Structure 1
Amino acid sequence: MNEIFGFDLPDKSKELTDKEYVDLVNRIRGNFLSYVSVLDTTLTMIISDLFLRDKNDFSLWVKTVFDEDRTASFGTKIVWLARIMKNHSVFKNEINESDRIKIQQKLNEIREIRNDFAHNFAHNKKINKENVKNRIIQLYDFEDGITTSKNFRMDEIMSLINNPWIVTELEKIQILTKKIREKQ
């Protein structure tokens, strides 16, 4: 999956035009949000596979577990997965506590960046040359009449996308969930 969303950043020695920089920022943001969407779907599959025995359970699932929009947020799914791993005996036996904590922490780190990328904007008219040179994404947020900015290093965002660890861990959890379901 990471190969779909990951790509090599232009070398820092390459000077980018404002347009190239804006395009790069938008590509990174778009790829990161797409990457998170796949993680979100994977969490949904894990959770629903564990609790739904057959397709007839789905309507009850929707009416009792999901909110009125029939979706749970990425953050809610992270909490649910953490609780499942902590409280389900098979998960507790198969995934050690430090890995369970690390999975939750990594997903929460990704969630926080996802929220910033999805709910804040980049200033595309007046480009900060230092941000271009240093490959920094600067996002702005308006809340309660105050503008705040956050900076993200492009290489750190791409490292998150390119690191297969969380994807591999979720795949293992998905396989474990199917094994649990098959035994019931």
Structure 2
Amino acid sequence: TPTEVEIDIPAGTSDVPILRHSDSSLQVGTLTGTIGCEGDNPVSIRSSWQKIGNRIPSQALESVIKWDEPSSISLEMEYEGEGPRVYDVAIEGAASRIASISTQGELSPGDPLIVDIEPMGLMESGMYARGQVVFQDEFGLEQRIDILLIAESPFTGEGWLAWISTPSNGLPIVCILMAISVVTGSRKE
């Protein structure tokens, strides 16, 4: 049965715990009541809540993919919380034309996101496909994270051509070439 609680709060900004997850064994509920200052008309509040096992914070996922054949990639995600949570997972945006999510159902912290890639002739070497991965739980709560899929090219990955094609590596290359020019030029005199 609900109990009325009166709390003195000093002037300014204060955090007042109303409900702790450890105080209830329920999974869903509604918090109702009134709140206000002494001498003023109280304001009615009503807030629905759900107890969840984890939350997926805002983040961006990125991966290099094969552009000329079907493949599957595993992406590591960040989670907040330690418990499991049931999700329906989908992908939206341009990335949805070449990718689908095979990870469905219960997700726990540490579980990767498995993405199946079917380029179907829509990708070329070096192309990008952006989109959003949409997670919807059993309460209808939705979370979205950005995803970027980059088609393999000689300029992606770990090779020397990828290193040279990175703009921030241009200055060291110029310095090395100038040093070689100075050293070889001084020997001719």
- Which has the higher relative contact order, 1 or 2, with Cα contacts under 8 A spaced 6 or more apart? 1
- More strand by percentage: 2
Using structure 1 for the length normalisation, give the TM-score.
0.20
Larger radius of gyration: 2
Using structure 2 for the length normalisation, give the TM-score.
0.19
